[in-house]
């Protein structure tokens, strides 16, 4: 997502705003920087980020934002990013939305997470494929329930893809009508393709 003079992003931890940035990517990087400074968890955050972002997946997606999400998850705080937009009048609120970066459904994150689990030996490839399929199925159905329509989930997937530099699942005939039935299968196909390219 490109920066805009009409947008500003506040980084939040446990409901407290502790930093501000001019773009979503900058806000995520600031969150990573703050997490690396954590006295108890900082070294592990840095190590996890290096390992996750170092996976050879750049031909398929940019792993940076998903690596940040994975890395800061070890810190027991609820992180989020609040998006604010330029007010047109003093009576308007600048708040536009809160992005729950630690819990939002992102199929690219699920794919990279399960690849990472194979790389570090936590999962076998077979177990990773089973867990990935289950998580994507659960995630897409839960997001449909939350957003109340398949069409809204399509918009959510487009937003997540654009913000995080994720895999494009929407340009290959996926529609709101076939979303629930096809997304888990597509995610598994991409997982297998990337895993094969990594020699897993």
What's the CA angle centered on 53, arms 47 and 55, to 5 degrees?
Answer: 110
Residue 123: count of CB within 10 angstroms of its CB = 19
Q: pLDDT per residue over 164-176, tens digit each? A: 999 999 887 777 7
Q: pLDDT per residue over 138-192, tens digit each? A: 999 999 999 988 889 999 999 999 999 999 998 877 777 888 889 999 999 999 9
The pTM score is 0.91
Q: Is the pLDDT of residue 89 over 50?
A: yes
Residue 44: count of CB within 10 angstroms of its CB = 15
**In the prediction, which pLDDT does 15 show?**
66
Report residue 74 as tokens.
Answer: 């070890």
Q: pLDDT per residue over 47-58, tens digit each? A: 999 999 999 999
**How does residue 90 score in pLDDT terms, banded at 50, 70 and 90?**
confident
Largest CA distance in the chain: 57
3-state secondary structure of 89: coil
CA separation for the pair 44, 34 (Å, rounded): 13
């Amino acid at each position: 997502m490109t920066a805009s003079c009409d947008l500003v992003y506040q980084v939040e931890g446990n409901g407290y705003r502790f930093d501000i940035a001019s773009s979503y990517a900058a806000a995520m990087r600031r969150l990573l920087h703050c997490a690396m400074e954590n006295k108890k968890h900082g070294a592990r955050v840095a190590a996890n980020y290096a390992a996750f972002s170092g996976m050879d997946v750049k031909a398929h997606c940019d792993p940076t934002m998903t690596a940040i999400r994975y890395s800061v998850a070890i810190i027991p705080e609820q992180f989020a990013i609040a998006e604010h937009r330029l007010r047109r009048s003093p009576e308007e609120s600048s708040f536009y939305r809160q992005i729950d970066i630690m819990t939002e459904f992102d199929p690219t994150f699920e794919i990279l997470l399960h690849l990472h689990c194979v790389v570090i030996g936590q999962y076998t490839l077979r177990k990773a494929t089973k867990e990935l399929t289950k998580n994507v199925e659960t995630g897409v159905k839960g997001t449909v329930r939350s957003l109340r329509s398949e069409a809204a989930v399509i918009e959510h997937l487009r937003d997540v893809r654009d913000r995080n530099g994720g895999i494009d699942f929407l340009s290959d005939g996926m529609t709101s009508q076939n979303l629930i039935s096809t997304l888990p299968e597509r995610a598994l196909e991409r997982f297998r393709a990337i895993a094969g390219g990594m020699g897993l």
